[in-house]
Amino acid sequence: MVVYLILTILTIGLAKLTVDEEAPGTRALALNRTVCVTVFLLLFAVSALRYRVGNDYWWYTEIMHEIGVMHHEGALGIVPTEPLFNALTWVIYNATGNENYLLVFAVMSFFTAAGFVYVIRRQADSFFLSFTMFLLLCFYFQSFSTVRYYAAMPLALMTLPHVEKGDWPRVILYVILGTLMHRTFFVILLFYPLAKLRWNKYITAAVVLVFGLCALFPEQVMRNGYLLYPTWLNAWNQYASFSVLNVARCALVLLFVFWNARREAAVREDERIRFFTKMTFMALVMHLSLRFIPQLSRLTYYLIIPQIFLVPRVLLKISDEKARKLQTAVVLAACVLYFIRYMLHAGDDGILVLPYRSFLFTATE
């Protein structure tokens, strides 16, 4: 845990040095770039140097073995992972001449860390606040287990500005690329355009009604789900679950937004805040109505992770400085409590990001 604590304190401290207002050729721009590169290198190093860390670590090494031999004589040639990950693994295994799964994990870590730092820098109203939420809400640490999913997630965030602008050809290109890394990615073609629509009471009622009907007919929903995601039928880790934390998180974020929207016209009238708020609302309704779906968070996190942009944007639009500082302190305190809780359970089955090991100091198999 010491490694994670040092990483968290150091990177958040660096993020605090960034300047929200910058211009080409200024010291602020150079400072921000230097901080972002340093933060990326730290995140990448801790992730890339890990060994036997993450709930799915050994499952991935077995899958990589199957990918490496999939074109050999007598091999089945069938693996449950997506083409882009398969191609990356196959190239690395054949280029290095051995089952170099450590290098595959390192390359995936590179894309994950670089992708998140890039989208936070490009889209966040406050790099410090958004990055702090990203780290303290443990999205980074969760990437140690769900490797392909979190490598694809920055691509989902990259589509957000294009959805807002209505640039659908580019959105589709991102969806195709993301789906080649993780097949759940295609759901953003439904989620993000729906959040882009201007909702009224009828659309809101229709969303609630559709998910309510899904809750009443779980067998029919799962039957269609197996058609879209056939690996759910036999995969060892596809179990239904209900996340109280995700429900509480979405509910609290909605209360936070509505509380400030009643008092601040700038919050109430901001289109981007509305866009992200509708995502949070859909995530909440899904967690309440589709609790029977295996690993539901693999779908809802496409709607939840944008909260790292939503919450800071609302905070920065609070006109009263005292209220803004108080609410910022409350948000950061809540994130710290979540971080502490996650780390206390980080060694449990289903997470297993503790204890941290590195192949630099551990004999590999």
Range with the largest mean pLDDT of 27-31, 48-52, 79-83 = 48-52
Consecutive H or E run containing 266: helix 265-268
What pLDDT, on a 0 to 100 scale, did the predictor assign at position 359?
A: 85
Q: What's the pLDDT tens digit per position in 88-107?
A: 999 999 899 888 999 999 99
Strand partners, 294: 240
DSSP annotation of 185 reads G
Residue 46's pLDDT is 96
Please report which confidence band the pLDDT of residue 253 belongs to, taking 50, 70 and 90 as the band edges: very high
Closest CA to 171 of 181, 157, 183: 157
> Which percentage of the chain shows pLDDT scores above 90?
62
How far apart CA 344 and CA 158 sit, in angstroms, is 32
Per-residue pLDDT, 74: 46
Averaged pLDDT of the chain: 88
Beta-bridge partner residues of 240:
294
Task: Please enumerate, as own/partner, the contacts of 7-12 that have beta carbons within 8 Å and a separation of 24 or more.
Answer: 7/42, 7/43, 7/46, 8/135, 8/136, 8/339, 10/42, 11/39, 11/42, 11/43, 11/131, 11/135, 12/128, 12/131, 12/132, 12/135, 12/136
Task: Supply the DSSP string of 191-247, one letter for each residue.
Answer: HHHHHHS---HHHHHHHHHHHHHHHH-HHHHHHHHHHH-GGGGT-TT--B---HHHH
- pLDDT given for residue 236 in this prediction: 46
* Entry pTM: 0.91
Q: Which residues is 50 bridged to in the sheet?
A: 358
Q: DSSP secondary structure string, 138-179? A: THHHHTTTSHHHHHHHHHHHHHHHHHHHT-HHHHHHHHHHHH
Residues 338-350: pLDDT tens digits? 999 999 999 888 7
Report in angstroms the alpha-carbon separations of 192 from 119, 156, 286, 300.
Answer: 17, 10, 15, 12
- Integer Cα distance of 236 and 238 in angstroms: 6
- Residue 136 CA to residue 312 CA, distance in Å, equals 14
* pLDDT, tens digit (0-9, with 9 covering 90-100), for 23-40: 676 888 889 999 999 999
User: Is the Cβ–Cβ distance between 32 and 18 less than 8 Å?
Assistant: yes
